[in-house]
Structure 1
Amino acid sequence: MTVTTLLTLALVLLVSLVVLGGWSVLVANRLNRLHVRTDAAWAAVDSALARRSVVARAVAEVCPDQALATRLRTAADRAETADRDRREDEENAVGRLLAEWDRVALSPGLRAELEEAELRVILARRVHNDAVRDTLALRRHRAVRWLRLAGGAPPPTYFEIAEPEGGMDAAGTASLRLRPAARVLLVDPDDRLLLFEGIDPVRPTAPFWYTVGGGVEDGENPRTAAARELTEETGLAVAPAALVGPVWRRYAVYSFDEQETETEEWYFLLRIADQLAPDTSGFSDLERRTVLRHRWWDLDELAASDVTVYPVRLAEMLPEVLAGEWDGRTRTVH
């Protein structure tokens, strides 16, 4: 190899390192800005929720039903002091109690103050979740993971609570719809879990993984719906009684295809004795457009991965479900 060739290779390598280094610095700076944005958005959510708790106590002071007033004050206190893991449940408790209120009985001033506080929570939560989505999307890029450009910063998490009065669309009118759902934790003989990877049509660059299942139709109970969804999405037909559970309950508010949805999901467990190649021919048109692939996940591999998965603590919680017979309790997950 000639000296000229060596110099050329060295120059190419140097230029490549400079380009890679420059790109890495730009991406690292962008990630830092995204994390700062997410932290600021969470501070706004925290402030809006604290304001709602203050107004909730003011509402409790004028409530003629002392039992309801006491429950509301207690819920507001618990929400303000809850840690991040419990915050969603406690804030939802405040929201449910406020929903029980006859707002017509409130003074116009207090009613307007409550509605403003609730609106601030809606807007702050949506801004925060948008920031989380953008941050997670960049963190998932292979080069970002390989070069560890996120450093030691933990990935941000979504904040999901029910929006009052049916939520709010662009016109300021109610938009939230309730969608009960039933899901199946389908586990093979090697304790691997079947998950689907899907996308939101309006955010195709932010894929996520989720379990078998879907909405509960009119006239169905969650167990029957879970068995039906299992057949439609995998081709596996089982009697509803074969499903164990519900082992989990998950409450969430999410946006899909520009529709805000409130959901209560019931999770059932099914172990199968043989390997299964899922038959997805029963997918709906929407599923064919939004489901990218399916995969059997080893739980250790899933726990070590940084993919987005729902429920978010699935890999952490499932070993307890698989450890022995179900004890009859339905646990709340996020």
Structure 2
Amino acid sequence: MLPLLIALVVLVLILWLYATANRLDRLHIKTDAAWAALEAALARRAVVARAVVATGVAPGSLLEIADHAERTPRTDREAAENELTRELAAVERSRLPLALAAELVDAEQRVVIARRVHNDAVRDTLLQRRRRMVRWLRLAGTAPRPEYFEIAEPELNGSVAPLARTAARILLLDADGRVLLFHGVDDGGSFWFTVGGGVETGEELRTAAHRELREETGLELPDDQLVGPVWRRRAVFSFDGRSYDADEWFFLATTMQTEIDTAGFNQIELDTIDEHRWWSAADLRTTSDVVYPVQLADLLPDLLESEWDGQTRSVR
């Protein structure tokens, strides 16, 4: 009886492994197909951008930006495409021929849809890849790890260019090297992000970092415990119905206090932030949630293992 039971368990396990590996294979194929569709949508937008330049409504620099976006390798493609988004948003569409204006809006809408489909496929694939049995038995094989494609969704009416916004952000670590992240919810989805926010007019970056830290966590740290800025991130993103052209500067700080006081949240933060959590580097590597900066999981260990060398590095 026991040998039969063992054989049955082994058979079930083999069937499960086969089904899981097969599902992973289909998910990778789906992700590759979604990326191909997104690339096609981005290429079409670049073609339409060139047509816009040909009308004389947009400057010739838009042509160079569109060409650069198409030629840029995947690792740097987000920044190039975001630059194209910014330039297209500044085009006076009322001066375009009606048919071309409609084609531009259609091209932008297709990019939005293709990006969402792609990121959904990436999320589903990562969720499977990060299961313990899948990782232990290497069921994903040699398939490369898919990555989210994070570009802002343009203002489809073309009437408003992204709003420039300088931000001071804080990589707040606890005694165990975990980083504090807030969970935000918006019409575009949900995501985790670091402490920090916009710099007020005339405010210094370091002063803004201290203020944001106090308002969002209740913590006040001596100035010598605020290191940096260690990172800088340029990003175009959509939030609360508005697009932003963000220039984010990241400081590093460590605290022994893990109890966070969010009584200083403003109304937007109260409406859009539903939780906070301390994340280890291992947590960040295995989550399927969207986290900003995108490279946080990869770069956090370096911050923990060595002292800052005084150089501000660009991150995504």
Report the TM-score when normalising by structure 1.
Answer: 0.74
Q: Which amino acid in structure 1 is aligned with residue 252 of structure 2?
A: L
Tell me how far 1:78 sits from its aligned partner. 0.7
Aligned equivalent of 1:231, options 190, 214, 233? 214
Q: Confirm or deny: 8 A CA contact 2:230 2:252 kept in the other structure.
A: no
Aligned equivalent of 1:29, options 11, 22, 44? 22
Partner of 2:88: 98
Aligned equivalent of 2:296, options 314, 317, 324? 314
Q: Say whether residues 1:194 and 2:179 are aligned partners.
A: yes
Instruction: Report the Cα distance in structure 1 between the residues aligned to 2:155 and 2:273, rounded to whole angstroms.
Output: 33
Q: Say whether residues 1:48 and 2:38 are aligned partners.
A: no
Matches within 5 A, 1:56-205: 56-63=49-56, 68-69=59-60, 71-165=61-155, 182-187=168-173, 192-196=177-181, 198=183
Tell me how far 1:82 sits from its aligned partner. 0.6
Q: How many residues align?
A: 304
3-state SS of paired residue (2:155):
helix
Tell me how far 1:19 sits from its aligned partner. 1.3
Q: Confirm or deny: 8 A CA contact 2:186 2:272 kept in the other structure.
A: no
Moved more, 280-289 or 56-65: 280-289
Identity of aligned residues (%): 42
Tell me how far 1:75 sits from its aligned partner. 0.7
Instruction: Report the Cα distance in structure 1 between the residues aligned to 2:180 and 2:217, rounded to whole angstroms.
Output: 11
CA spacing shift, 1:42–1:109, aligned 2, 3 Å: same
Tell me how far 1:109 sits from its aligned partner. 1.6
3-state SS of paired residue (1:264):
strand
Instruction: Report the Cα distance in structure 2 between the residues aligned to 1:312 and 1:80, rounded to whole angstroms.
Output: 22
Moved more, 106-115 or 80-89: 106-115
Q: Which amino acid in structure 2 is aligned with residue 313 of structure 1?
A: Q
Instruction: Report the Cα distance in structure 2 between the residues aligned to 1:237 and 1:153, rounded to whole angstroms.
Output: 46
CA spacing shift, 1:197–1:320, aligned 2, 3 Å: closer
Tell me how far 1:127 sits from its aligned partner. 1.0
Tell me how far 1:187 sits from its aligned partner. 4.5
Instruction: Report the Cα distance in structure 2 between the residues aligned to 1:167 and 1:27, rounded to whole angstroms.
Output: 43
Larger Rg: 1 or 2?
Answer: 1
Moved more, 78-87 or 278-287: 278-287
CA spacing shift, 1:36–1:255, aligned 2, 3 Å: farther
Tell me how far 1:37 sits from its aligned partner. 1.0
CA spacing shift, 1:102–1:235, aligned 2, 3 Å: closer
Identify which of structures 1 and 2 has the higher relative contact order when contacts are C-alpha pairs closer than 8 Å and 6+ apart: 2
In the TM superposition, structure 1's runs of 4+ consecutive aligned residues that sit over 6 Å from their partners are 176-180, 201-204, 217-220, 283-288
3-state SS of paired residue (1:97):
helix
Q: Confirm or deny: 8 A CA contact 1:234 1:278 kept in the other structure.
A: no
Aligned equivalent of 2:275, options 278, 290, 296? 290
Q: Which amino acid in structure 2 is aligned with residue 91 of structure 1?
A: E
Q: Deviations over 1:31-77 (max 9, x none)?
A: 11111111111101100111111111111111156xx22x1111111
Tell me how far 1:239 sits from its aligned partner. 5.8
Q: Which amino acid in structure 2 is aligned with residue 290 of structure 1?
A: E
Q: Which amino acid in structure 2 is aligned with residue 264 of structure 1?
A: A
